[in-house]
Structure 1
Amino acid sequence: MKKREVFIIAILCLSLWFNFTTLNKVEEQRKQIDYSISLLNQLNNLLTHTSNQMNQIAVEKEWIQSANFSLVSKESREDRMVVRGEFTFLELKANQKPTIFYREKDTTEWTKEVLDSLGGLNYAVVVTLSPEKHYEYQISAEGDISKGSTVLTIPQKIYGFPEKKIDITFLPVKNSSTLSAQVYVGFAPAPIEAMTPVKVSIQIENEGKLTRTVPLTLKSGLNSEFSGTWEQNKQEMSSNTEFVTVTEFKNGVIIKEKTNTIIHEGNRASQRIISEEKEVISGS
């Protein structure tokens, strides 16, 4: 084979290699461009969806001008709380009947109630709720849940057992191997007398096992507020020591709430709130 032919073949091979490499790079760049376009489309869809949601919320806030809930104390009992909801709307057509759909949270079945007119654009409804449960609702002007508002919450503090606050202060005991702890448990006013707390205690657990129950005493001069003092040997207090608040109410209902973990470091201790585990025990 002549040198000239070898040279031509070499040039052709080099050209083929160059074209192949270029095509691969072009294909890779095309894929990157397609991927970037896909990301931009996803971002655009997300922004559009968010914008639509914000517009929907803005429209609803304008249409439902006010929504207020209150407890009907005289008709409420410890196992059934009667709650009145009052709503004011921006406008309604002549044939529209505003309707509330409500349900227990994390369930699927809605209860439907047509609102009663109070005159003008003011409407009201009365519903019966369980004090241990959380409820959510939607409002529809058409009586059709598919055309309802966003899902909103009925404030449980209106009809539920009184809210509780626990505070624990640790103090080292001089020349002693114990830690002194002042425990305070305070309650918001009960919605009805039957839901007033009458007995509070603290269960101390280690690795899920009950080690001690400490009753708390009512602090004189304060309604529905409890405090107590107890001592715990620091050798027995570990990082997984937990406090369980046990509250018995006037109607016999007992609520156990695991809310605090005690962290022990040397002769000091601190507390942190863990995910609340609530157990409701109905009285006999």
Structure 2
Amino acid sequence: MDQAEQAAYFFRRRWPNGFSCPSCGYGAYYTIATRQLPLYECRLCGHQTSVTAGTVMAKTRTPLAKWAAAIELLASTNGVNAKRLAALIDVKHKTAWRMLRKFRQAIGEVEDAFKLQGTVHTGLHFLAPKYIFIFLPHRHYRCERVVSVSASVGRDGKPTALKLGFVPRDRLVPRFKEPTAHGKARILEEHVDPSADVQWLNSDRMHHSPLRDCLLEARGWMNRLFRGVGTKYLQGYLDEFCFRWNAASRGKPPREAWDMLCFPSDIAA
């Protein structure tokens, strides 16, 4: 499939019901084909856009075919690391890493906008270095991370929607794995809808809660696929796990979830 065919394919995926101007929602457009990637100019407001504008693929020189292959891999597997992605789609490791970084940034925006509702259980747990960071000797990988685990739960107490967040040290009581008043307020502000009925779990309740199992599942996922995650990027991996977990919990097919992430709907008129 050449670049023109790829552009047509991405057009259909971004606008499955026909073109919609991102600025005004109008459906008629002119095609400007003087560039390698066509531009589409709205006939009403004159706004110009492309199949990649406003998406994870915006302002990239990586061919569309590589992006299509990466999206397919992410949607059809439980995740992929940069080394394996580079080998499978035949790009440099740095390119694969940047592509995955862009995907996780988009996921982070989705997860930040999503707030837990209903009955919500939340508390803190930690990722012990001997489990998730054992493979890398650097101190930034081997230090212990405290993570907030929050979930909307059903009547049986089982999670139906999940949020995981790295908790920096300035939100913790010194020498203890407990949040300060400010830290607790920030966790609730970032993860929970104000209308929710929140129950904060102490360390003992968290240890026996299904929420702990969710974090252990996330830890195992990161351990198997990435074999060590630095603090700087840990939140991105936690977000990706929650994105996958929440899509499965809603019964949403993985391909649909990734299509919605990579080809967001434009505004309607």
**Scaled by the length of structure 1, what TM-score is found?**
0.21
Structure richer in strand, relative to its length: 1
**Scaled by the length of structure 2, what TM-score is found?**
0.22
Larger radius of gyration: 1
Structure richer in helix, relative to its length: 2
